[in-house]
């Protein structure tokens, strides 16, 4: 007895299943790649924001240390000295920040920014090589970087100040804020 089996179409069904499996794996891989790229972009932006915030704290420390070296009051140029009330001073550089001119040996600030949305809080990218993030009181010093920085100084006691460096940036259409704080004291008698 000769039994013939009907296998017509079985190869087509196997091919469709195989294509479905390959397509599912490809879509999953592409989704993973896209989310990895977005995550790395977020990490990159946070790293830049962290460095910009740290630079703000370091700039205030540099002014304080320069005052000590020049035998001046340690708070000149960055704080409201001898304040009896909790005054808050906000700052933007009154020239390119950081100084592009090697002859400029001091950081200097303009007091009076009241809000992170001020033009004075905006950071720009220079067109020089290597590019730098700069901040300048009163406007543009290059291409908008998408970052904003505000340095705030609040008296903590008669001999200490709380310095905050706040950076606002955008990742994936969402606004992010990173704030670093440091307590500065007059450790030099």
User: Residue 181: what pLDDT?
Assistant: 95
Instruction: Give Cβ neighbours of residue 121 (< 8 Å, ≥ 6 apart).
Output: 92, 113, 115, 135, 148, 149, 150
pLDDT digits (tens, 9 = 90+) for 46-85: 999 999 999 888 888 888 888 888 888 887 777 655 444 3
Please determine, for residue 153, whether its predicted confidence score (pLDDT) is greater than 90. Answer: no
pTM of the model: 0.71
> By percentage, how much of the chain surpasses pLDDT 70?
72
User: Residue 6: what pLDDT?
Assistant: 64
Instruction: Give Cβ neighbours of residue 130 (< 8 Å, ≥ 6 apart).
Output: none
The answer to which of 5-9, 20-24, 128-132, 145-149 has the lowest mean pLDDT is 5-9
Please determine, for residue 116, whether its predicted confidence score (pLDDT) is greater than 90. Answer: no
User: Residue 127: what pLDDT?
Assistant: 78
Instruction: Give Cβ neighbours of residue 54 (< 8 Å, ≥ 6 apart).
Output: 165, 180
Which DSSP string corresponds to the chain?
--PPP--TTHHHHHHHHHHHHHHHHHHHHHHHHHHHHHHHHHHHHHHHHHHHHHHHHHHHHHHHHHHHHTTS-TTTTTS-TT-SS---EEEEESS-BS-SSTT--S--EEE----TTSGGGEEEE-SSSS--EEE-TTS-SSEEEEEEEEEEEEEEETTEEEEEEEEEEEETTEEEEEEEEEEEE----
User: Residue 183: what pLDDT?
Assistant: 92
At residue 179, what are phi and psi to the nearest 5 degrees?
Answer: -125, 130
């Amino acid at each position: 007895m000769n039994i013939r089996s009907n296998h017509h179409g079985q190869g087509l069904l196997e091919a469709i299943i195989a294509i479905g499996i390959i397509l599912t794996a490809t879509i999953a891989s592409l989704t993973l790649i896209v989310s990895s790229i977005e995550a790395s972009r977020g990490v990159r932006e946070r790293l830049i924001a962290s460095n910009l915030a740290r630079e703000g704290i370091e700039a205030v420390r540099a002014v304080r240390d320069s005052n000590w070296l020049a035998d001046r009051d340690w708070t000149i140029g960055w704080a409201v000295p001898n304040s009896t009330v909790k005054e808050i001073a906000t700052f933007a550089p009154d020239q390119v920040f950081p100084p592009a001119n090697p002859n400029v040996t001091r950081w200097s600030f303009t007091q009076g920014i009241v809000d992170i949305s001020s033009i004075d809080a905006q950071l720009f990218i220079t067109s020089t090589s290597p590019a730098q993030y700069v901040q300048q009181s009163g406007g543009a010093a290059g291409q908008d970087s998408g970052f904003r920085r505000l340095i705030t100084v609040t008296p903590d006691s008669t001999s200490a100040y709380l310095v905050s460096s706040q950076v606002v940036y955008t990742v994936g259409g969402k606004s992010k804020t990173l704030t670093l704080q440091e307590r500065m004291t007059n450790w030099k008698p």
